[in-house]
Amino acid sequence: MRSSALTWSVGYILLGITALALFAAPLSYAWRVTIEEGRSELLQEDAQRLTAVFRREGADGLARFIDERLKIQIAGERILLLADPSHKPLAGNLAAWPAGLPDAPGTYASVPMTVGSRETRAVTVHAVLPGGYNLLVARDLARLRPLEIRFWFGLAGAAAVLLVAGLIGSLLIRRAVLARIDGISHTASRIVLGDLTHRLPISRGDNEFNTLSRIINRMLDQIEQLVHGVSNVSNSIAHDLRTPLTELRSRLEELTITRPPDEETFAEIEAAVADVDRVIAVFNALLRLAELDSGASRSGFVEVDAAAAAAKAVEFYQPYAELKGISLSFDQQGAGPIRGDPVLLAQAIGNLIDNAVKFTPDNGTIAVETRRRDDGSVEITVSDNGPGIPEADRPKVRERFYRGDTSRGTPGVGLGLSLVCAVAKLHVGSLELADNHPGLRARMVLSSVA
């Protein structure tokens, strides 16, 4: 009885019965008005014909006409009465003038009278004839009552059919809903037990349950990806921190055992400080990425000139590129201001240029370009002629701590492009990686309405 499907079905049944009643009410009213008006018009026409007979043949002629008329009609079909000025009956099928009928001529909807041996009510037309004679033409209201009773019985039968069909339908709906809910419950139980690959079943069609199942399945895909990402990040953190911490421990342990001269001791201490700085850099990068993922930095957005930020980054890395004989150029093609975080944008652009300088061979070329797209977004492109990134590895390099084969011997921990992706996402944009033939073309797209 607490089933939602049953509650909804009962509600729809009540709604259907209410709609049926609302439909029957004006129909019943229209039927009553039509019947009553038609019946009154027929009685008035009869009264006019009888009045015409009275004018031609007088009271005796009308009395004979009424008696002949009563002989050929169905018993009780019409009620006719001709009375003298004192209401004494002269002809008709009433034994006496109805006591409840007003003296004034007119049409009366319900007048009590006795027809034969039964009491009834009739719609009555009272006409006063020349000479003070009184004419009564009436029809029994009970004549159409069986038809009215059949109408209400039919309405009750329709309501009963609606009720039975609704109850059967509610049971079928409840069964179907519970079957889908059992599938969702089973899937949820499997996921709670650790099976993140389980998904909600989807049947044929585009009903509401399938739409909900698809949305939940996409959410589960994202959750599974995040869980695996956390696991991979944890493994990567452990792997990347183990080396500097192991080296740090070895240096300190060697110092405590060998106790070398001061100069050599300070050299080892400096190396230990470098290892600690490397560990701190990893944690700072992770904290920065966590801040970007939460979106908290978006509250401090200001208007930033993307082209100016890129120009400053190029100027900062120019000496570094010159040491390797690399040509680092900058080209501005109409890029303008956007809303964003100037520090994060500078860091993201710097990471792209830093990667390009690391992997571009000596005497190579790096080109930085900025331009505004037709949709208003700003595009910052860093192209180089280095070894590039294989197409199969491009989705992976966005992951934290991932380092491809070409980057094994270079410094870093594999968080540079992850940070760029996070900054682009924070600015409602994306990072696109493509082949530069040869080399890599890294394109960061930033929305102008971030």
Last residue of a domain, one of 294, 325, 348: 294
What pLDDT, on a 0 to 100 scale, did the predictor assign at position 264?
80
Strand partners, 124: 108, 138
Same domain for 331 and 281: no
Q: Do residues 305 and 337 make contact, with C-beta atoms less than 8 angstroms apart?
A: yes
What's the pTM value of the predicted model, to 2 decimals?
0.46
The answer to whether residues 364 and 289 belong to one domain is no
Residue 402 is predicted with a pLDDT of 56
Q: What is the pLDDT of residues 228-248, one digit of tens each?
A: 666 655 665 666 667 677 777
pLDDT of residue 350: 86
- Could you tell me if 337 and 438 lie in one domain? yes
Domain end point (choices 273, 294, 315) = 294
Which residues of the chain fall below pLDDT 50? 405, 407-409, 450
Residue 214's pLDDT is 84
CATH of the domain at 300: 3.30.565.10
Q: Which two tokens stand for residue 264?
A: 């050599």
Helix (H) or strand (E) holding 367: strand 365-372
Number of compact structural domains in the chain: 3
Is 346 inside a domain boundary?
Answer: yes
Q: What is the pLDDT at residue 27? A: 79
Residue 133 is predicted with a pLDDT of 92
Peptide bond preceding 342 in cis form (omega within 30 of 0): no
Q: Which of 101, 132, 148 is the last residue of a domain?
A: 148
pLDDT score of 394: 72
CATH of the domain at 15: 3.30.450
pLDDT of the residue at 408: 46
The reply to whether 15 falls in a domain is yes
The secondary element (H helix, E strand) that includes residue 304 is strand 302-305
Q: Are residues 314 and 251 in the same domain?
A: no
* pLDDT value of position 409: 46
Q: 358: domain range? A: 296-446
Same domain, 278 and 324: no
201 within domain boundaries: no
Write down the pLDDT at residue 376.
77
**233-238: long-range contacts, CB 8 A cutoff, minimum separation 24:** 233/286, 233/400, 233/401, 236/400, 236/401, 236/402, 236/414, 237/282, 237/286, 237/401
306 and 392 co-located in one domain: yes
29 within some domain: yes
Q: Is residue 190 domain-resident?
A: no
In the prediction, which pLDDT does 6 show? 67
